[in-house]
Amino acid sequence: MQLISRAWLKLAVSLGCLAALTAISADVGSAAKAGAAADAKRIAIVIDDLGNNMAGTEEIMASPVRLTVAVMPFLPTTKRDAEWAHRVGHDVIVHLPMEPLRGRRSWLGPGAIMTDLADDEIRRRVEAAIDEVPFAVGVNNHMGSKATADERVMRIVLQVCKKRGLFFLDSKTNYRSVVSRVGSELEVPVLQNQIFLDDVASTAHISRQFELIRKQATEQQTCIAIGHVGIPGKKTAAVLHQAAPAMPSDILFVRLSEMVPKTNIP
Ligand SMILES: [Zn+2]
């Protein structure tokens, strides 16, 4: 850790996430169906890449609506951000660095789940990451377009989630992800990201994505979306502060744990 400068690591994490934002249009409906039984329309917004004192962290914590924050393990403000989010009423999940198909190793941050690791080492890293993030109720992937398509890797990750009583949010950085299928088999609750809020870091784009979230929630009853602290952080937080209170009253903002299917089977 000491070898990596803090500024570089911040940039690297942000670049990593932006690089991982590939098309996720396929399979958009399946997570929505999972929550369709509830009466109210529900939106869960997840903010990734906490744990490194990134731009927008304070504004996200002060969100006017309940959020879920995904905190990276083993970073300078991992514990502070997890405790802070819990204190102000947001859900906390572990933002687990996982191997991408493309992109630099340095974008992943420490403790990453690589597909060439032995079973025991993957298990040990997932357990250690969960231990690092207080109050975690779930796990999602940072990058991970390669690892989430690897059945051996995901079986181990999801077995640990099951043992620890955590759900898994598939960020859907790869449409070939096996998370949903393996999670169903192991009876681990799996949720899926449907919209990236800030894959382009401009206020105009983030506002358009927010409108897409409203439309998705109206038509499908639920919507799960992912935004970020870091490069787009302050803009994402500003749109959230402005647009969330203006949502129609029949749309509720909920924490991700409130979206977990009651049956435990996705
Ligand atoms: Zn990330």
Each residue's pLDDT tens digit, 223-258: 999 999 999 999 999 999 999 999 999 999 999 999
- For residue 30, being part of any structural domain is answered with yes
Per-residue pLDDT tens for 108-133? Answer: 989 999 999 999 999 999 999 999 99
Q: Which domain holds residue 11?
A: 6-258
- For residue 263, being part of any structural domain is answered with no
- For residue 239, being part of any structural domain is answered with yes
User: What pTM does this model have?
Assistant: 0.87
- For residue 1, being part of any structural domain is answered with no
Closest CA to 108 of 147, 136, 139: 147
Give the separation between CA 78 and CA 81, rounded to whole angstroms: 6
- For residue 216, being part of any structural domain is answered with yes
Task: Please state the φ and ψ torsions of residue 251, each to the nearest 5 degrees.
Answer: -110, 125
* Ligand 1 center–CA 187 separation, angstroms: 25
- For residue 266, being part of any structural domain is answered with no
- For residue 265, being part of any structural domain is answered with no
- Look at the chain and report how many structural domains it folds into: 1
* Ligand 1 center–CA 162 separation, angstroms: 22
* Ligand 1 center–CA 242 separation, angstroms: 24
Question: Is the predicted pLDDT of residue 103 greater than 80, yes or no?
Answer: yes
Q: Give one DSSP letter per residue of 64-128, joined into a string.
A: SS--EEEE-TTSTTHHHHHHHHHHTT-EEEEEEEE--SSS-GGGT-TT-B-TTS-HHHHHHHHHH
* Ligand 1 center–CA 244 separation, angstroms: 22
- For residue 54, being part of any structural domain is answered with yes
Residue 173: give its domain's CATH number.
3.20.20.370
* One-letter identity of residue 87: R
* Ligand 1 center–CA 200 separation, angstroms: 14
* Ligand 1 center–CA 229 separation, angstroms: 9
